[in-house]
Amino acid sequence: MRYYPIFLDLRGRRCAVVGGGPVAERKVKALLRAGANVHVISPSVTPRLALLAARKKILLTPRAYRTGDLEGPASTRTADSRAGRPTLVFAATNSPAAQRAVRKDAEALGVPMNASDDAKESGFIVPASFAQGDLLVAISTSGASPALARQLRRQLQLTLGREYRGYLRFLRDARK
């Protein structure tokens, strides 16, 4: 087994997404659902990301990636170098040079990085997942076939329907 499965509590933690296209948008939406503080760095973004920035749901740096960007905007940095360090980094650009620069900078900071286009160059991969209330199901093919992982996710989603939301609430109360 190459990967160690883990569920991270990202509530209130900073995560960086470099890129502003549809793949980046999917990453941002999932991070926001997990309660992360999201910083997007991209010269152009989807209309949905632009709306999230306008509503102050994400922090947007509207330009190409530069070394040092992972530490956050200069206005948010403190003397504690860890304060600006993101918990996770996602590189979702269409520029191989930008992808390499993000990976290099994330490695220098000791921050796990996911390259949306290259599992081999990533410190972690993102499984296909869905939630039914507190039931969170994730499935991975270890990068062999993301399409198969999505297909299996859809099948499980049909099997593990909305009724599990109430069932888990009942089990949580009974456990207390």
List the one residue out of 162, 93, 154 whose CA is nearest residue 128. Answer: 154
Going along the chain, which residue ranges are E strands? 14-18, 37-41, 59-61, 88-91, 113-115, 128-132, 135-139
Would the pTM count as exceeding 0.75? yes
Per residue in 1-60, pLDDT (tens digit) is: 688 999 999 999 999 999 999 999 999 999 999 999 999 999 999 999 999 999 999 999
Where is 51: in which H helix or E strand? helix 47-54
Place of tokens 């009974």: 174
